[in-house]
A and B are shown apart, each in its own frame.
Chain A
Amino acid sequence: MHEMSLAQNILDIARQELQARGCTRLTGVHLRCGALAGVEVSSLRFGFEVLLQGTPDETACLEIEEVPLRLRCGACGAEFGGEGRLALWEPCPFCGEQLGHEVLQGKELNIVAIEGT
């Protein structure tokens, strides 16, 4: 259940950014979450809701864009993409190697925009 501490981090960062711009109310956060970020999205949403309950920001929404994997083959070095985290174990479409792919994209967990008034 480390999603609760992630939700708290998200709120801390969002409020800090809002304050720096003279806003007082948080209305939304846009997140980019990699397929291999180790985040259970439904738990994160739950944590976010629980932390906002009873605060003026209660109605703030959390938009999560899931970032697919981008891999470099461990054998031939070709780059390819894939859906979901299991793509890490898929054979390379160019040479068939199944393991040892390097993750170029898909581990990130970033806030990309915050909305407030």
Chain B
Amino acid sequence: MQIPVVRNVLEANEKMAAQVRERLRGILTLNLISSPGAGKTSLLERTLRDLAGEFRMAVIEGDLQTDNDARRVAATGAQAVQINTDGGCHLDSNMISTALDALDLSQVDILFIENVGNLVCPVEFDCGEDAKVALLSVTEGDDKPEKYPLLFNLARAMILNKVDLLPHVDFDMARARAFATRLNKELAVFEVSCRNGEGLEGWYDWLRRMRADKARG
């Protein structure tokens, strides 16, 4: 017997993502995606410390193994919960739903989801976020947006980290920016150094605007 049906293979994830989104109503939720070592945790450590007086923030940390990153962000005083994927290459909405049980959501204005370091698979799985944020560091190739177009096409913001190292590397900032913004005309781009704090004010202003939009519903 042949049964004609049309069903999206990712429907289970998308249904759960809709439930997560409902639970997170009123909380600005950002899904942070980059390759390993681009500086996601460093960006969060800075942001959590610098904006601690303005917003109540929480972090869901995704890693294959260890709770090192959750301990790093918890040291800033923010609520943090670790998900270990045991080799899995991405977070999905079911993992997020479970992780939310460990957070006091009534005490959160902004939730950051730090995805597993990977520029491919995490892009496919909706985690119930309001926006994806792509992070790229200048010690990587400036052609990353060309190689991984889907992320830069879907992200609302791109952070170019480690700009303090620009004098020592061959990263062509104009090339990276040009390609990413042509892929995505709405993309907000921030050049920052999480090491010395350069450029972070632009990112913070964007967070303030996004949070205000979310609070207005």
Flag if B9 contacts A23 (CB, 8 Å). no
Contacting residues, chain A, for B182 (C-beta < 8 A): 99-100
Which chain B residues lie closer than 8 Å to A58 at the CB level? none
Partner of B1, one of A12, A23, A100, A112: A23
List of 7 A-B pairs having minimum Cβ-Cβ separation, nearest first: A2-B121, A99-B182, A109-B9, A114-B3, A111-B7, A113-B4, A115-B2
Q: How many residues of A contact B (CB 8 A)?
A: 29
Interface string of B47-63 (1 = CB under 8 A from A): 00000000000000000
Instruction: For the complex, give the distance between the alpha carbons of A13 and B211 in Å.
Output: 37
Is A71 in the interface zone, CB < 8 Å from B? no
Closest-CB distance, A11 to chain B (whole angstroms): 10
B-contacting residues, A31-83, CB 8 Å: 31, 36-38
Q: Least Cβ distance of B154 to chain A in Å?
A: 10
Closest to A10 in B: B9
How many residues on the B side are at the interface (Cβ–Cβ under 8 A)? 28
Indicate if B89 sits at the interface (CB-CB under 8 A): yes
Q: List 26 A-B contacts (CB under 8 A).
A: A2-B120, A2-B125, A5-B88, A5-B92, A9-B9, A9-B11, A9-B13, A12-B12, A13-B9, A13-B11, A17-B5, A17-B7, A31-B9, A36-B150, A37-B124, A109-B8, A109-B10, A110-B7, A110-B8, A111-B6, A111-B9, A112-B5, A112-B6, A113-B4, A115-B1, A117-B1
> How many whole Å from A18's CB to the nearest CB in chain B?
7
Which residues of A lie under 8 Å from residue B150 when comparing CB positions? 36, 38
- B26 at interface by CB-CB < 8 Å: no
Q: Provide the residues of chain A in CB contact with B88, threshold 8 Å.
A: 5
Interface of A, secondary structure class, is mixed
Residue pair B3, A21 in contact (C-beta under 8 Å): yes
User: B113-141: which residues lie under 8 A (CB-CB) from chain A?
Assistant: 120-121, 123-125
Set of chain A residues within 8 Å of B4, measured between Cβ atoms: 112-113
Please name all residues of chain B whose beta carbon is closer than 8 Å to the beta carbon of A88 when the two chains form the complex: 149
Q: Does B185 contact A (CB under 8 A)?
A: yes
The yes or no answer to B176 lying at the interface (CB within 8 A) is no
